[in-house]
Structure 1
Amino acid sequence: MELKYKRILLKLSGEALMGDDSFGINTEVLGEISSQIKEIMDLGAEVGIVIGAGNIFRGVKGASQGMDRTAADNMGMLATVINSLAMQDALERGGVVTRVMSAIPMRLVCEPYIRRRAARHLEKGRAVIFAAGTGNPYFTTDSAGVLRALEIDADIIIKATKVDGVYDKDPVLHADAVKYEKLTYDEVLSKNLRVMDTAGIALAKEDNKPIMVLNMTQPGNIRRAVCGEALGTLIGS
């Protein structure tokens, strides 16, 4: 099976790691995601991963409840390291050599993020998990995902969610919600579709980096996406 996208940046939400639980990390879900990642790496894909922290702590939510925004965002970035280490463990138990690289240095548990070293890991067939966001408050992991995709020159950003694409309104709440198969960056912004934050969309637009939003709970979807099958919603110019 031939790859259309050789190097990808896979953006996972922290909430996706919960499965049907209300908090934390569901190990079965973790195993399912790691098996999909291994599947595409066995085909020759080079995979960078960014994981959110909504299953543990979300900085914006903490700030909305009265916490200092910088302190709350720092907590959120540290929570992404927990998720990243969990994903590394799942991948390596499945036979995938993996490196966690953190934007906030913590040498006892992972490597510091260095762009050229990350690219070298990818070239050697290792999965690279980019932890701690951008290392700065006020930036979401969506923005971090786009930034890392640009830095490693990924062919595409795949945002893996529990929903099979981008809709004009919440399909869980509205039975008449309409799914978009393709969108431009400007349409995402003008329609306020909240696929990812505006900073992330603006970064992707500047470099014309395509974003695919798909349902990762469907086995094989990530493989089908990297092989060029039309899935979910594709965002581009």
Structure 2
Amino acid sequence: MDNAAQGKPVYKRILLKLSGEALMGDDAFGINRQVLQHMIEEIRSVLDLGVQIGIVVGGGNIFRGVALGATGMDRATGDYMGMLATVMNAMALQDCCRNNGIEARVQSALHIEQVAEPYIRGKALRHLRLGRVVIFAAGTGNPFMTTDTTAALRGAEVGADIVLKATKVDGIYTADPKKDPTATMYDEITFDHALRTNLKVMDATAFALCREQGLPIKVFNINKKGALRRVVLGEKEGTLVHS
């Protein structure tokens, strides 16, 4: 009998990458409470399996709302503003977790002790072992680095078994399925293939870091009910990127 049939997870510790845009739902910007609640329910379904969860969240839903006014701004300044947006999203996730009886901690790469713990690897590992959700905010704390790269970095640092990239599409396709009706979805591809064909699902730095660390990536649709649980149980869901 396989793990899925037995309800046994194939991963003990995961790093979930949530984009800021995923929190918007159909709204133009900001955080949609119904979407947020759906994500917390997905997270709970995996916690109930005994899986340890770290989360890296983006900030596009907030920062892109003010980006028009940031035209001509210094890149580093804009990146720091984006990091602050991720802290806001992380706080919203933490609050929704707690309202649903889930223990969660926000760890920020920027020092904002009034609202979040500083990122300390040892404390993050302890929280994970105690069954708490750890939400990593403010990216790596450095400009010119994406939250995809942060997900790869934090995933490697905390010893995650896999990075789960939550998107609005079912996986990685041969072409943009919205533009090309003949596009087909990959069940799995290699890091070399992803880098060679310049797939835009994650940035090249994140792909390269995961390849170097032997850390697989699964791209899946977080909006499909039960998708996160199916991924963790090893069922057919999304696209696997591996060495």
Q: Give TM class, smaller chain.
A: over 0.9
Q: Does 1:126 align with 2:126?
A: no
Q: How many pairs were matched up? A: 236
CA distance in 1 between partners of 2:13 and 2:21 (Å): 25
Give the structure 1 partner of residue 81 of structure 2.
Answer: 75
Aligned match of 1:168: 174
The residue identity in structure 2 corresponding to 1:99 is R
Choose which of 18, 34, 38 in structure 1 pairs with 2:24.
Answer: 18
Q: Is the CA contact (8 Å cut-off) linking 2:70 and 2:78 kept in structure 1?
A: no
1:216 corresponding residue in structure 2: 222
1: CA distance, partners of 2:58 / 2:92: 12
State the alpha-carbon separation in 1 of the partners of residues 127 and 26 from structure 2: 33
Give the structure 1 partner of residue 3 of structure 2: none
> Are the aligned partners of 1:84 and 1:129 in contact in 2 as well (CA < 8 Å)?
yes
Contact 2:83 2:138 in 1 (8 A): yes
Q: Distance in 2 between matches of 1:129 and 1:39?
A: 17
1:106-152: per-residue Cα shift (whole Å, max 9, x none)? 00001000001000000001000000000000000000000000000
Counterpart residue identity of residue 219, structure 1:
K
Deviation at 1:173, TM superposition (A): 2.3
- The residue number in structure 1 matching 2:112 is 106
TM-score w.r.t. the length of structure 2 is 0.94
**1:142 corresponds to:** 148
1:172-187 → structure 2 map (5 Å cutoff): 172-187=178-193
Any idea what the Cα deviations from partners look like across 1:71-130, whole Å, max 9, x if unmatched? 000000000000000111111111100000000010000100000100000000100000
User: Displacement, 1:174?
Assistant: 2.0
- Long gaps (5+) in structure 1: none
3-state SS of 1:57 partner: helix
Q: Aligned-pair distance for 1:171?
A: 1.2
SS at 2:144 equivalent:
coil
- In structure 1, how many angstroms separate the alpha carbons of the residues matched to 2:193 and 2:126? 36
Q: What is the identity, as a one-letter code, of the residue corresponding to 1:167?
A: Y
**2:211 maps to what in 1?**
205
Distance 1:134 1:63, change over 3 A: farther
TM-score by length of 1: 0.97
Moved over 4 A (4+): 61-64
The CA RMSD over aligned residues, in Å, is: 1.5
Please report how far the alpha carbon of residue 64 of structure 1 lies from its aligned counterpart in structure 2 after TM superposition.
Answer: 8.9
C-alpha distance in structure 1 between counterparts of 2:180 and 2:231, whole Å: 27
Once residues 40 and 30 of structure 1 are traced to their aligned partners in structure 2, the CA distance between those partners, rounded to angstroms, is 16
For residue 149 of structure 2, what is the amino acid of its counterpart?
Answer: S
Could you tell me how far apart the structure 1 residues matched to 2:98 and 2:45 are? 13
Q: 5 Å matches for 1:32-47?
A: 32-47=38-53
Fraction of identical pairs, as percent: 53
Measure how far apart 1:63 and its partner are.
11
Q: Which amino acid aligns with 2:154?
A: R
Please tell me whether residue 91 in structure 1 is matched to residue 64 in structure 2.
Answer: no
Listed as ranges, the gaps of 5+ residues in structure 2 are 1-6
Q: Which moved more, 1:222-231 or 1:125-134?
A: 222-231
Shift of 1:58: 4.8
